[in-house]
Amino acid sequence: EPEVTQTPSHQVTQMGQEVILRCVPISNHLYFYWYRQILGQKVEFLVSFYNNEISEKSEIFDDQFSVERPDGSNFTLKIRSTKLEDSAMYFCASSEAVDYGYTFGSGTRLTVV
């Protein structure tokens, strides 16, 4: 069964440093997403991406965040200057269409110290 692949599985970074989280969505999917989940809390929407541009973003997705699809397969989330409160599990997801089920990756656990 096709999978969404995320790397790294764990990342520890110093406050103020930049991090890039990487994702390889399912190849024939057209819609890509980033979500985060702070420990013990709900899965929160960050951003959706379609046709090489952001289609929706949440209030969490401020100027510190950016997304890119640098080539035909990778989809990245960059946090420019990490804060302690950015510590969370970050999930990438993809779907064939807007109103189809999403396939999630297994996540990157980001710890900011």
Partner 1 sequence: SQKIEQNSEALNIQEGKTATLTCNYTNYSPAYLQWYRQDPGRGPVFLLLIRENEKEKRKERLKVTFDTTLKQSLFHITASQPADSATYLCAPGAHGNNRLAFGKGNQVVVIP
Instruction: Select from 15-23, 34-42, 67-75, 78-86 the region that touches partner 1 (CB under 8 A).
Output: 34-42
If one asks whether residue 74 binds partner 1 (CB under 8 A), the answer comes out as no
Least distance (Å) from partner 1 to the CB of residue 76? 17
CB 39 within 8 A of CB 104: no
DSSP output for 27-87: TT--EEEEEEE-TTS--EEEEEEETTEEEEE-TT--TTEEEE--SSS-EEEEESS--GGG-
If one asks whether residue 106 binds partner 1 (CB under 8 A), the answer comes out as yes
Size of the site for partner 1 (CB under 8 A): 28
What's the gap between Cα 69 and its chain centre? 12
Q: Which is nearer to partner 1, 4 or 19 (CB)?
A: 4
> Which residues of this protein are in contact with partner 1, per CB under 8 A?
4, 31, 33, 35, 41-45, 48, 50, 55-58, 89, 91, 93, 98-107
